[in-house]
A = this chain, B = another copy of it.
Amino acid sequence: MATKRMGKQTVKFEKPPSIIGTSSVVGLKEGEGPLREYFDTILTDDLYGEKSWELAESKMLREAVKTAVQKSDFNITDMNYMFSGDLLNQLMSTSFAARDLKIPFFGLYGACSTMAEALSLGAMSIDGGYADNVVAVTSSHFCSAERQYRFPLELGNQRALSAQWTVTGAGAAILSNINTGPKITHITTGKVIDLGIKDVNNMGAAMAPAAMDTIVTHFQDTGFSADSYDLIVTGDLGAIGKEILEELVLDKGYNLNNVYNDCGLLIFDNNVQDTHAGGSGCGCSATVFCGYIYKKLMEKTYNKVLLVSTGALLSTTSAQQGQSIPSIAHAITIINDTV
C-alpha cells in the first residue's frame, strides 16, 4: 500500500511542507469588515485600475502571488509550480495571472474548495520531491461572480436571506521544503456529495453534507477529534450551512465543540454589512487563511488548525437544467513547528 496513506482518504506527509509566507488582497467591503487589520492590501476601487472586474480579479491574484513571494524572500523564478483556480468560466482570473507570472502552472477547479485543493496538491509536490517551492493561490470577485452566476449588478436585484456574499479577494501561500513556519502535516481529500439541494441561493445547505463527510472521514482516518485542534474552520458554509454542519457531525457521534468557525462568518459583520448568510467564493477561505489564520499561527495563538474549504460545483447550465448541487470539501491540517 502507498506508504503515506492513512485510512480511506487521508495522506500523512513524511516531510511536511512549510507555509513560509502568505499574502492577501481584498476589496473595499472586506476591508471594512472585522478582519481588516490582517489583510496586506485593501482596494480603494473594485476595478483596481483595470478595464473590467475580471481583469481586476486577475490582478488581485497576480499581486497576491508577487507579495507572498516577496514576503518569503524569494523571486518568482524560485517557484516551481503555481496551483491555482478561481470561479470564472475557464479560470479567466488565474489563466491571465499565470501568463504574466510565467510559473509552470496547474489549473484547478473546485469552486470555493479550491484553496484547500491547491494547498493539498502543492504540499504533495513538495513532500514528494517534485518541487522546492510552490505557490497556492485563488481569487474571487463579487462583481465578476454576480454577473456570471446571477444577475447584472445594474439590476439591483434583492438578495435572498439565505444567499451569501462573494468575497472580493485573493490569497496566496508559499509552500517550501525549507524547514520554518507552520507545516501542512495531513490532507483529507473530499468526495463529491449531493443530497439533492437545488436552491442556488442556499449553497451553505448544499455544501454542509460534503463538509461533514470530509471532517468525519478526517477524524476516522487520523484518530483526531475536535480536541486535537485549536481551530476547525470551514470555507464558506455561512450561517445556515454552519448550523447544519454542526448537527450533521453530531449525528455521526462527533462534536466540533467550541473550536469550530466558518471563514464566511469571520470576514463580514452581518449586523453592519448586510451580507445575509455570510461570505463565500474562492477568495473567502483564501484571504481568511492567508490573512487572519496564518498570522494567528505565526503568533502561536493557534497551533493546530484544520482548514476545510468547501465548494458548490454547480454551473448556471446545471441549475437551468434542473440539477441539484454537487458539493465537495477538502481538509488540511496545519501544525506549528514547535508543537
Mark A residues whose CB is within 8 Å of B: 1-5, 9, 11, 14, 51-52, 54-55, 80-81, 85, 88-92, 95-96, 98-99, 102-111, 117, 120-121, 124-132, 148, 177, 189-194, 313-318, 321, 323, 326, 328
Contact = CB atoms under 8 A, between A and B. Distances in A.
A323 B105 CA distance: 20
Given A90-B109, A98-B326, A326-B96, A130 B5 contact: yes
Nearest to A104: B189
Given A95-B326, A326-B95, A104 B190 contact: yes
A321 B191 CA distance: 36
16 contacts: A2-B132, A5-B131, A89-B90, A90-B109, A90-B315, A92-B315, A95-B313, A98-B328, A99-B192, A105-B189, A105-B192, A105-B328, A106-B108, A106-B117, A107-B313, A124-B130
Nearest to A314: B90
A277 to B, nearest CB: 21
B317 A5 contact: no
Nearest to A14: B129
Contacts of A148: 317
Residue of A51, A95, A102 most packed against chain B (CB within 10 A): A95
Contacts of A120: 106
Contact of A128 (B110, B124, B317, B321): B124
The 9 closest A-B pairs by CB, nearest first: A128-B128, A90-B315, A95-B313, A104-B189, A99-B192, A3-B129, A99-B326, A98-B192, A4-B129
Contact of A111 (B54, B90, B125, B315): B90
Residue of A9, A55, A107 most packed against chain B (CB within 10 A): A107
Given A108-B106, A109-B109, A315 B2 contact: no
Contacts of A109: 85, 90-91, 107-109
Contacts of A98: 191-192, 326, 328
Contact of A52 (B85, B192, B321): B321
B128 A96 contact: no
Nearest to A313: B95
Contact of A2 (B177, B192, B194): B177
B318 A92 contact: yes
Contacts of A11: 130
Contacts of A91: 109, 313
B192 A130 contact: no
Contacts of A9: 104
A108 B108 contact: yes
A315 B88 contact: yes
A221 B131 CA distance: 15
Residue of A3, A90, A110 most packed against chain B (CB within 10 A): A90
Given A128-B124, A313-B95, A105 B191 contact: yes
A138 to B, nearest CB: 12
Nearest to A322: B51
Contact of A194 (B89, B99, B117): B99
Contacts of A191: 98, 102-105
A90 B319 CA distance: 12
Contacts of A317: 54, 88-89, 92, 148
